[in-house]
Amino acid sequence: MAYKDLREFMADLEGKGLLRRIRTEVDPELEITEITDRVSKMKGGKNVALLFENVKGSKMPVLMNAFGSYERMAMALGVQKLDDVADELREMMKLPYVSLQNKMSVVTMIPMIKRAVNFPKYVKHAPCQEVVETEHPNLDEIPILTCWPEDGGPFVTLPLTFTKNPKTGKRNVGMYRLQKYDSRTTGMHWHIHKNGAENFRDARAAGEGRIEAAVAIGTDPVLTYAATAPLPRDIDEMVFAGFLRHKSVEMVKCKTVDIEVPATAEIILEGYVLTSEMRREGPFGDHTGYYSLADDYPVFHITAITHRNDPIYFSTVVGKPPMEDCYLAKATERIFLPLLQQMQPEIRDINMPLEGVFHDCCIVSIQKQYPMQARKVMHALWGMGQMMNVKMIIVVDDHVDVQDVSEVAWRVFNNIDAKHDLEIVEGPLDVLDHSSPMAKWGAKLGVDATKTWPEEGHARAWPDEIRMTDAIKERVDAKWKELGID
């Protein structure tokens, strides 16, 4: 089901015992992080969403860890399991081309097309504008968290940042952290590879002194996820959200800038970014488990703050995995697998382990049909959007379960010849990567752990894997209870 807003999602979480209300006073400086970090790493039913209702220095409650498990992430997207979204996408990709030969299929296509394309719906009145402050907008009223001891300050960590490209007018929505500098300014941490940064550069190249921006905080969970999704440049995140939720996203025009934002958001920050102004931002305790280094970024000037009555501040904390952001990344892994398979049909499955923090490791299984195909897949993946940042790609044969990291490790440790099966290339890296001597680029490793063929230079015989016969397995299965081992 599609949640109409964050509050409906929270109510569902609470009804299923997946949200805990914390009434003890907590400090937004470090204390909320420590509590949330401990809970996010608990096992089973103790890892729940947290609603801090008594936050020092603020009237607003703070919601944390809402996406922090596979179950809650699936709930957020309105499915039983994350692969359900991928299965639906596969069905959409089967839609036939309309022609005289298949005109009878148009009738069956219409319902699927309606589900796939839900354009935003624009409204004049919205809950996110129940309270409007344009005279003296004040970030001090929002319990923005200082997450880690060496952070450069408080950071907004779940912001949906809306901008428009000055040349095309097309909307972009990205999730770029905001360091609070004072009551009316923040940093705007859009990486050089991101579309928000591209809009900023286009505005500067056009001689424009500023680019308008708006930030939504506390949207319905599908919208929050959509802002993190690695979509192609010209796909509107709000249309993508409409596909995921099977329902159009309601949008409303801001009060002081020419941008539309989600109508049911909890809080909206309106403002602009000067194209000539840069300011030191960071350090920030990041999802890599290390502090991202301080650097110069544009500055976001706030012209208005609007919000719902009694708003809820939706936030997250990132750090050493597993944490909440890992499950957002896993959703992307499953949802975008069909698109990877569309472009690389030999791919059977992928796994981006939580320890690889999204962009450091990708394990891929392929149906190998010709020599050096694993190398071909590595380079193809490095050429696809945000996959360019992956530091290590491990390729295994299609019968290997890539979700079983222990099995993958066994294959890698036993199958590779270090001289023959390692591929080192240079290219772009994530801005947050600290290991490369050069910022934003460096060396990447491909590991071919598939069975090496004679055509690939392996002249020796390749041994068979040890396997018991099916007949013996069945005989032992029949005797198992009698053995009394369990």
User: Can you give the length of the chain in residues?
Assistant: 486
Packing angle, helices 106-116 and 83-93, rounded to 10:
140
| Calpha distance 253→248 (Å, rounded) | 16
Query: Counting Cβ atoms within 10 Å, is residue 20 exposed (0-12), middle (13-18) or buried (19+)?
Result: middle
DSSP annotation of 200 reads H
Q: Where are the beta strands (DSSP E) in 188-231?
A: 210-217
For 174, the token pair is 């990205």
One of 286, 360, 421, 430 is an active-site residue; which one?
Answer: 286
Closest CA relative to residue 430, chosen from 474, 391, 473, 470: 391
Contact 281, 246 (CB under 8 A): no
Peptide bond before residue 283 is cis, with ω within 30 degrees of 0? yes
| Calpha distance 422→444 (Å, rounded) | 10
Closest CA relative to residue 67, chosen from 19, 5, 22: 19
| Calpha distance 159→215 (Å, rounded) | 6
For 426, the token pair is 């240079």
Inter-CA distances, 9 with 19, 88, 218, 224, Å: 10, 22, 11, 12
Q: What count of Cα atoms within 13 Å lies in the side-chain half-sphere of residue 243? A: 19
Query: Counting Cβ atoms within 10 Å, is residue 244 exposed (0-12), middle (13-18) or buried (19+)?
Result: buried
Peptide bond before residue 232 is cis, with ω within 30 degrees of 0? no
Contact 147, 29 (CB under 8 A): no
| Calpha distance 391→472 (Å, rounded) | 43
Q: Does residue 286 have an active-site annotation?
A: yes
What burial letters (b/e) apply to 245-257, b meaning 16+ CB within 10 Å?
bebbbbbbbbbbb
User: Helix or strand or coil: residue 380?
Assistant: helix
| Calpha distance 173→194 (Å, rounded) | 10
User: Helix or strand or coil: residue 410?
Assistant: helix
Residues labelled catalytic: 286
